Structure 1
């Protein structure tokens, strides 16, 4: 499966507008190559020949202009991802502190949410952290893939340079804090809600696959088999009468 389809199938639907727009950037690259002036391409490839790109001033100017537009768009996409991730991470910090205080209060027999309510709150919060981790991973991979594709089709190393300079060290790519928060929720659940039984805690916190989908072919085959089964059942019933 191509990455574009994988990306679409694994993103969190309610956050769709906050992910980097891989499809748009991919289309920009392909359109730039197809519409390039006087560029010779091989019959089985759309890759630019380096000598054509550098020897023709018109072609060179065309790609310089495209480079500016493409990476300006990349910066916009990166900014949106960064802002959303920072907002969600700050929100998660506040929620974790709230849950921590509520669990301690419950242990001290103070008034507040009961065991079941806190268990549900922990599970929901844990899922939100896993979703944010998925958001982090998908966007990082998408930026890496699109920069690699830029270099491949434009015959450049600018994509790798941009990725290294702006994405590889971007705050949203730092996994440490999010991992620590996930680990702390697991520990809190184990300590306060399952009396130290980690296996039971992890079973309660277990997150189902964020996206399960069937290919059209599988859906068609399943439908066809179901139809054949129904027809066979009807024939058997009629023959028994």
Structure 2
């Protein structure tokens, strides 16, 4: 599979505009090769200026793409860090509440006689607390799973774009060697 097809198949649809414009850059390289003045018609300095001008435009396009990708990646990474801190705080709060609840239940069990009878909670209240705790644990697990998947998407974005730059610059070098 060619890289352009691979990029299209593996990109996150919502992030497509933020990916490297690989096909556009590849077309620009081929247009450069097709548009080169004939060596019989012009002097070598003209051909060198043509390539120098093309290289300058091409590398500016690469720089623009790189800035776009790095900015997007930095935004998504900062978003991930904020999400992680939020999930971590939520988990810590849940742990504190759950530990306090367990300590209270333990104290109730240790107390004997008439106090235990007075502090006993009805069965439906205990079941309700248990259901809320189970639901909260389930929600936290789901949130962490979603967070992990978002990190995988971000890692794939980084890898695809890195590969795109490596391949387009390799094509550029190949075309440049043929031209000079």
Which TM-score applies when normalising by structure 2?
0.74
Report the RMSD for the aligned CA atoms in angstroms.
2.1
Q: Deviations over 1:101-150 (max 9, x none)?
A: 11121122269981111111111111100000000101111101100000
Q: Residue in 2 aligned with 1:84?
A: 72
Question: Aligned partners of 1:102, 1:127: CA distance in 2, in Å?
Answer: 19
Which residue, 101, 104, 123 being the options, matches 2:89? 101
Which deviates further from its counterpart, 31-40 or 145-154? 31-40
Give unpaired runs (5+ residues) of structure 2.
99-131
**Secondary structure of the residue that 2:97 maps to in structure 1?**
coil
Question: Aligned partners of 2:11, 2:39: CA distance in 1, in Å?
Answer: 37
Which TM-score applies when normalising by structure 1?
0.56
Alignment of 1:144 with 2:166, yes or no, is: yes
Q: Residue in 1 aligned with 2:113?
A: none
Q: Residue in 1 aligned with 2:16?
A: 16
**Secondary structure of the residue that 1:37 maps to in structure 2?**
coil
Q: Deviations over 1:139-176 (max 9, x none)?
A: 111101100000001218xxxxxxxxxxxxxxxxxxxx
| Structure with the bigger percentage of helix | 2
Alignment of 1:131 with 2:131, yes or no, is: no
Q: Residue in 2 aligned with 1:71?
A: 59
Q: Residue in 1 aligned with 2:4?
A: 4
Question: Aligned partners of 1:82, 1:134: CA distance in 2, in Å?
Answer: 14
> Whose relative contact order is higher, 1 or 2, with alpha carbons under 8 Å and at least 6 apart?
2
The total of aligned residue pairs comes to: 143
Question: Aligned partners of 2:177, 2:167: CA distance in 1, in Å?
Answer: 15
Q: Residue in 1 aligned with 2:31?
A: 31
Alignment of 1:187-206 (within 5 A): none
Deviation at 1:39, TM superposition (A): 4.9
Deviation at 1:26, TM superposition (A): 0.5
Give unpaired runs (5+ residues) of structure 1.
41-52, 157-241
